[in-house]
Amino acid sequence: MSMIDVLIRVDAICKKYDKYDADKHRNGAAGGDPFSRLYNAVDADIDAAIERSERAATETNRAAAVALNADVRRTKARLTEEVVRLRKLAAKKVKGLSPEEAALRGDMVLALPDRIQSIPDGGGGGAADQNGGGNVRPGIKFDSSADNLDEAYFQTTEESEEFRREYEMRRTKQASLCLSMESNDEGLEFISEGLDTLKSLAEDMNEELNRQMPMMDEIDNKVDKSNADLRKTNVRLKETVNQFRSTRNFMIDLILICIILGIAAYLYDILNQ
């Protein structure tokens, strides 16, 4: 695969997925009126078509040159349709636009068809191409006299067969590339639907959390109040236990004193006898 093929495919993929670039669309919509945006886009496409045409003129691979010229012709057809839109936009009145600027817009639109048609596209249908004026391959002479149109003239050669095989191969690759891009579009749409679903779930969860927050605050307040009551109860219980232990110790001390006094009296009686 040559570098030109890589550039062509990268350019096609970028254009295909350009619609997913939100920042670019936002910036494009913010600046200028519709006529200015469309005219700038057409002018950029004309420059790109001229660049591809020059690249096709210097391309040594005939299949790549044919593909580039076909792309240039498609671009010219699309730009011709855009010129019609530009004419309609130029005829509209825009707030803040002076008459001189409006007239200048009309002149700019009138100059576009000549610029578009002047882009070489490799076509050999005009007289200028046959005489060398629009020929992108210098040195090629067209001779279609009836004397040369014999049976051998229409026979295919090895070079033409190789060119046809290369053309068929590139067309197959292009078709497979289009299919892969369509499948990528379907995948992106599926991902977008999944993201929308996740967004809806996240919004529902956020709403439910907002409803549960007052209840959670109330539960926290009740837990704090219960902890305070429990601490007070523990203090009271500790005081009660201490009081009970002091009373019990007093009674035990009194009983021991009585026992000691009884033993002392008994010993005293024994010693006196």
From the centroid of its chain, how far is CA 66? 33
Contact 137, 119 (CB under 8 A): no
Q: What is the Cα–Cα distance from 236 to 145, expressed in whole angstroms? A: 125
pLDDT at 2: 63
pLDDT at 4: 66
Residue 85 falls within a domain, yes or no?
yes
pLDDT at 148: 52
Q: For residue 65, give the CATH number of its domain.
A: 1.20.58
Which one is predicted more confidently, 44 or 14? 44
Q: What domain range includes position 83?
A: 33-119
Residue 25 falls within a domain, yes or no?
no
Q: Is the pLDDT of residue 25 over 50?
A: no
Residue 142 falls within a domain, yes or no?
no
The model's confidence at residue 161, banded by pLDDT at 50, 70 and 90, is confident
Q: Where are the beta strands (DSSP E) in 48-152?
A: none
Report which residue type is found at 218.
Answer: E
Residue 202 falls within a domain, yes or no?
no
Residue 92 falls within a domain, yes or no?
yes
Q: What is the Cα–Cα distance from 13 to 182, expressed in whole angstroms? A: 11
pLDDT at 183: 75
Residue 62 falls within a domain, yes or no?
yes
Residue 97 falls within a domain, yes or no?
yes
Mean pLDDT of the chain: 76
| pLDDT tens profile 181-202 | 777 777 788 888 888 888 888 8
Rounded mean pLDDT, 137-160 = 56
Report which residue type is found at 159.
Answer: E
Lowest pLDDT segment from 21-30, 81-90, 165-174: 21-30
pLDDT at 21: 56
Lowest pLDDT segment from 1-5, 8-12, 215-219, 242-246: 1-5
Q: Is the pLDDT of residue 55 over 60?
A: yes
Which one is predicted more confidently, 144 or 63? 63
**How does DSSP classify residue 208?**
H
Rounded mean pLDDT, 253-264 = 84
Give me the percent of the chain exceeding a pLDDT of 70. Answer: 74
Residue 59 falls within a domain, yes or no?
yes
Number of domains in the chain: 1
- In this prediction the pTM is 0.36
Q: Is the pLDDT of residue 155 over 70?
A: no
pLDDT at 105: 80
Residue written as token pair 């279609």: 144
From the centroid of its chain, how far is CA 224? 49
